[in-house]
Amino acid sequence: MTLHPTVKSVTDRIIERSAPTRAAYLEQMRAAQGKGPARARLSCSGQAHAYAASGEDKDALAQTSAGNLGIVTTYNDMLSAHQPFETYPEQIKAAVRSIGGTAQVAGGVPAMCDGVTQGEAGMELSLFSRDVIALAASVALSHNIFDAAVFLGVCDKIVPGLVIAAQAFGHLPAVFLPAGPMQSGLANDEKAKVRQKFAAGEVGRDALMAAEMAAYHGPGTCTFYGTANTNQMLMEFMGLHLPGASFVTPNTPLREALTVHGAKQALGLSALGDSYTPVCDILDERAFVNGIVGLNATGGSTNLLIHLVAMAKAGGIILDWQDFSDLSDITPLMARVYPNGLADVNHFHAAGGLGYMIGELLKAGLLHPDTKTVAGTGLAHYTRDPKLLDGDLSWQDGPETSLNPGILRPVAEAFAPTGGLRRLTGTLGTAVMKVSAVAPEHQIVQAPVRVFADQDSVKAAFKAGELTGDVIVVVRFQGPKANGMPELHSLTPLLSILQGRGQKVALVTDGRMSGASGKVPAAIHVCPEALDGGPIARLQDGDLLRVDAVAGTLQIFTEGVMDRPAAAADLSGNQAGTGRELFAMFRNTVGAADSGATIFGG
């Protein structure tokens, strides 16, 4: 199938825009490749330090040229998605020994759960944790004694941070090994109903706790299609997972077989063999375009509008939100997974999952078919499903028709002709909106604003019965420079209640929303942010604002707003406590949301 002209034109302009920075990055990677691992060049003392605790692998490391695999792990048992990683290092070491290699845990990486920190002070460290993860993973690989790496990570900031680090060591091959989603528990829509009833005071905390525990009940990723599962989708579309690996549940024979094969594959792609495939060759401009198409086709998390920009920048590739918007215009919405529908990711996977979707998009010319991946050259590898037959792992042709059209549809019969993301521009600045779960009648809201400086004030106003009539709730001073750009997902239940009462309601913020954001229109990531004196800092209660996801506009209709001085906020309460004092450097140096909200290169 011929490549769609918009896919080609967007890719071409990214290549042109990125030419100087991409060339400099690749030159750096080729130089690192030419030097190779420092293992053989280390002093005897240096090697002794590196191998001292390697047990049965010590002689192989010291005396032979067998490949050495670095394991970068984000294991902790505070994150259900990461708890299964506890046993991965021993599985990986045994796997590579069987092919004559060695493996060492290069280092551990911090990983926090946004589900725990929603609405809490810790959420103000969340976005910055991505860059901390990138730094920590780089320290893990800094000994430069590895021929390849595997990265163990799943959740919101963790995968983007690991990808940034993988690109810093882009001369090495790398395979990302997921843990998979937990088995389905209480349906996500039932859980959401209980949350709304609790917000309205209709049920007590005991009912809320019971519902949450029934939904989040075991090892694995949360089953809704939020940022964590969007990350997993991207790793397949961009070629860093094994085909079909994303949504196989933890602690199953197939999951273990994929982990073992992934470890062997990583070492097999090293420069010691004849299939050398470094990360810098996999993550090119075409791979990022494929990832953006996947993001739109699945109605994925808005967080990736920030993370993909930062991830690309680490490889010298410059993305902007117009790229996302233009690709959204030609990408059909093929999936309905909660919060965009009632199904969870396990249902999506059973209906045909990513393999079916990639096959459909390839046939429609909406993906670059010839990218390099950890499974070989060509994205067609990712139309096949992993199977465990008589104990042996193999890949079989995936389904050519959806097994549940209520969840997953072909391109020709998609749920919507365009993707789930919109870029909004206008007199208030630039913002983005996830519209895949927003009903058409709610995609345009023109109403007076109520302005707040934090989400607790919104909750207080709601409880006091102040949010009556049509209203656009503006929550400002939530950008990366102000307080680390926390997610405001805890506002979703109360805004949903207002919408359910028949009010026209929208959220406008320079902060973030979770990948679980749903049916209430939310214009988020507003740039410039309030702390930079953006127009959002000049709004006052009662100003008329229009949020229009159809036209892609964000307009102030009240005269004289831009003549006002920018409001100031007392941010002293956001500067210390729960570790926030240690992140002042991040707040002072971070770039804008539309440039990735990263400390790396502004």
Cα(320)–Cα(221) distance, rounded to whole angstroms?
A: 29
Q: Is 247 helix (H, G, I), strand (E, B) or coil?
A: coil
- Bridge partner residues of 430 (DSSP): 425, 527
Helix extents (H) in 252-314: 253-268, 279-282, 285-298, 304-313
Cα(52)–Cα(30) distance, rounded to whole angstroms?
A: 31
Please check whether residue 258 is in contact with residue 245, taking contact to mean a CB–CB distance below 8 angstroms. Answer: yes
Cα(372)–Cα(510) distance, rounded to whole angstroms?
A: 36
Task: Name the CA radius of gyration of the chain, rounded.
Answer: 24
CA nearest to 171, candidates 41, 66, 28: 28
Structure tokens at 290: 């494929």
Helix extents (H) in 82-157: 88-97, 114-117, 126-141
Cα(455)–Cα(489) distance, rounded to whole angstroms?
A: 10
Cα(568)–Cα(570) distance, rounded to whole angstroms?
A: 7
Cβ neighbour number for residue 219 with a 10 Å cutoff = 21
Q: Strands 421-426 and 505-509, how do they pair?
A: unpaired
Question: For the CA atoms of 21, 585, 320, 538, what is the dihedral angle to 10 degrees?
Answer: -140
Cα(443)–Cα(433) distance, rounded to whole angstroms?
A: 10
Please check whether residue 305 is in contact with residue 421, taking contact to mean a CB–CB distance below 8 angstroms. Answer: yes
Burial letters 344-372, b for 16+ CB under 10 A, else e: bbbbbbebbbbbbbbbbbbbbbbbbbebb
- Bridge partner residues of 177 (DSSP): 152
Please check whether residue 316 is in contact with residue 18, taking contact to mean a CB–CB distance below 8 angstroms. Answer: yes
* Residue 439 burial by Cβ neighbours in a 10 Å radius (0-12, 13-18, 19+): exposed
- Bridge partner residues of 217 (DSSP): none
Please check whether residue 67 is in contact with residue 147, taking contact to mean a CB–CB distance below 8 angstroms. Answer: yes
Q: Give 117-121's long-range contacts (Cβ < 8 A, gap of 24+).
A: 118/487, 118/489, 118/490, 118/514, 119/455, 119/489, 119/490, 120/578, 121/577, 121/578, 121/580
CA nearest to 159, candidates 5, 283, 331: 283
DSSP one-letter string for 214-239: HHS-SSSB-SSSSHHHHHHHHHHHTT
Q: Is 337 helix (H, G, I), strand (E, B) or coil?
A: strand
Binding residues: 155, 222
Binding residues for [4Fe-4S] cluster: 155, 222
